[in-house]
Structure 1
Amino acid sequence: MGQEIRKGSDTSRRTGRGGLNEFGGKNQDVARQLAWEIAAINVHFQEIRYFWAKTLGISGPQWMILMALADLDQGEGVPVKVVSKMLHVDPSFVTTQSKMLEKKGFMRRKTSEEDARVVQMSLTDKTYKHIAGLASEQEELNNFIFAEFSDRELSDLADKLAALKNRLEKASLKVAMGL
């Protein structure tokens, strides 16, 4: 006979293994499930990003650079280091990708007047127009994705995820230092 697909956690089976799992402590099964859910959500967001990127003929990571600039730029450009920090990638990656995006006419790169080591990046009018053209599709998609949440619930979820992200950054440092 075939195996039944298991949904949810199976605490009794895991408890019999002995030893602690990667989460140790409180709510181990829920924490494990949350980690898997977040990983799956990331995969789906990545698929959507690749779809939007394809409309411009660029890669998913290049799309993320453009979106970071769209969110961060206040009219003076955004330093490579700021974008790399937001995307959790090495600045050299952003430099390489931004040069490709500049060649395709999606962004401008100029040396900062205050510090010649700093490159300020900004989107071109062409890119802003393309993003504006996608706005209604993106809004419709967001309405579908977040339909179950009120504005307040969505805001609370974003706050909780931001707090979790900060804790995970600290946990990563602890692991790197050997706890």
Structure 2
Amino acid sequence: MRSNNLNCQEPDKRAQKAEESVVDWCRPASVSADTLLIDGTDGCFLTMIYNLWAFNQHMEAARNSLAKHFELSGPQYTIFMAIARFEGQEGINARDLSKLLQVSPGFIATEIKSLVSLGLLTKSIDGRDRRMHRLQTSDQGRKLLRTNSSFVCKMNDLLFGGLTSEEVQQLVTLSSKLTHQSERTSAILDTHYKMRGEAGQN
């Protein structure tokens, strides 16, 4: 199996004469699945990884800018907008919100407390499970959303406006698949390191 051939080119003859003692080194491939090796190399895969990483940085910067517009922290903004999107008529409970955002219940609880104290959310006992709370945007929170909706639209249009409708639908499908796969990978890694730690203690 070949590695990325861009890293395995024959060295320049002048450099070879100047450093005859240096042995050319071919970087091992970063993937082995046939579907991830395009033309026998991991070049396209790595390009995708670095593009996703760069996009994530820009997404984080955009989120922080939006959060400042709402006078919230980045995590508070994410939680607030998620509740506004999924609260429906009865609100969303903290456990479901934790699963949706892939963060710990303890973290959710801390940020929810802050958002409630700011008057942007209401919290009530879940009628189906009295151990849980149902969360909804308050009148003040909805007013804040309406006031800043044009800025949110402008930012999202700038980020994603270059995509066609078909590409947006494809991205929804692909991002869902990647999220599911990343959850599975995280669970496997957690099990691996837990077993590794237990083995080290024996």
Report if TM-score (shorter chain) is over 0.5.
yes
State the TM-score bracket (shorter-chain normalisation): 0.7 to 0.9
Unaligned 5+ segments in structure 2 are 10-24, 193-202
- SS at 1:108 equivalent: strand
The verdict on how the C-alpha distance between 1:117 and 1:14 changes in structure 2, with shifts beyond 3 A counting, is farther
- Of residues 182, 189, 199, the one that matches 1:175 is 189
Q: Return the offset for 1:143.
A: 2.4
Cα distance in 2 between the residues matched to 1:24 and 1:153? 28
- Counterpart secondary structure, 1:121: strand
SS at match of 1:76: coil
Give 1:29 deviation, angstroms: 2.1
Deviations along 1:84-137, one digit per CA (max 9) or x if unpaired, are 111111001111111111111010111112322111111111111211222222
Q: Which amino acid aligns with 2:168?
A: L
Q: CA 1:62 to 1:14, structure 2 compared with 1: closer, same or farther past 3 Å?
A: farther
Asked whether the equivalents of residues 62 and 155 of structure 2 are also in contact (C-alpha less than 8 Å), the reply is no
2:58 corresponds in structure 1 to 44
Provide closer, same or farther for how the CA distance between residues 177 and 130 of structure 1 changes in structure 2, counting only shifts above 3 A: same
After superposition, the C-alpha distances for 1:9-28 in whole angstroms (9 at most, x for unaligned) are x633168425332x334332
Is the aligned partner of 1:89 residue 2:103? Answer: yes
Distance 1:19 1:38 in 2: 21
Matched residue of 2:122: which SS? Answer: strand
Tell me how far apart the structure 1 counterparts of residues 177 and 113 of structure 2 sit (CA, whole Å). 34
Instruction: Give the Cα separation in 1 of the matches to 2:121 and 2:58.
Output: 27
Aligned partner letter, 1:129: K
Letter of the 2:128 counterpart: E
Query: Which structure has the greater CA radius of gyration?
Result: 2
The answer for the alignment partner of 1:24 in structure 2 is 32
RMSD: 2.2
Distance 2:27 2:62 in 1: 40
State the one-letter code of the partner of 2:189: V
- Asked if 1:12 is matched to 2:26, the reply is no
Structure 1 unmatched ranges of 5 or more:
1-9
CA distance in structure 1 between the aligned counterparts of 2:73 and 2:132, rounded to whole angstroms: 25
Question: The residue matched to 1:89 in structure 2 has which SS?
Answer: coil
**CA distance 1:110–1:145, change in 2 (3 Å):** same
Q: C-alpha distance in 2, partners of 1:177/1:20?
A: 25
Distance in 2 (CA, whole Å) between partners of 1:12 and 1:36 is 16
Kindly tell me the number of residue pairs found equivalent between the two proteins.
169
Q: Of 48, 60, 64, which residue of structure 1 is paired with 2:74?
A: 60
CA spacing shift, 1:53–1:148, aligned 2, 3 Å: closer
Question: Per the alignment, in what secondary structure is the counterpart of residue 41 of structure 1?
Answer: helix
TM-score, normalization by structure 2: 0.75
Superposition TM-score, scaled by structure 1 size: 0.83
